[in-house]
Amino acid sequence: AKVRWVPEGIEIDVPVGTDLRTASKEAHSQQGDACGGKCACSTCHVYVVKGKELLSEADEDEEDTLDKGFDIRINSRLACQVRIEREGLVELEISRESREAFFNEHPDEAPPGWREKR
């Protein structure tokens, strides 16, 4: 399966069965990961732009955790809970919440002036 982060244009191939958090780490995308994939926070919050039909369905735990997130949309998912179930292209957009969490976790990778813009 192919995963692409827009608008960054990062794209990688991963095996079916891979969760989107693992794909993000392999791609070195700027996606947050505060709880380490335990569905305890919403810092890996992404928007599925394309390929929703290729992904596992959200379960009750994921939906409950997403309810605590920011700027939740109809296409919001927690990357740590979503597995790719079929071959094809999945396009993701990293939520602002997730990107901010990433920069908090990796301040050396934050763009200049990032904290002042918040």
**pTM of the predicted model, to two decimals?**
0.93
Residues 29-54, mean pLDDT to the nearest whole number: 96
Q: What is the largest CA-CA distance in the chain?
A: 42
How would you write the chain as a 3-class SS string?
Answer: CEEEECCCCEEEECCCCCEHHHHHHHHCCCCCCCCCCCCCCCCCEEEEEECHHHECCCCHHHHHHHCCCCCCCCCEEECCCCEECCCCEEEEEECHHHHHHHHHHCHHHCCCCHHHHC
Give the pLDDT band of residue 114 (cuts 50, 70, 90): confident
pLDDT digits (tens, 9 = 90+) for 46-65: 999 999 999 999 999 999 99
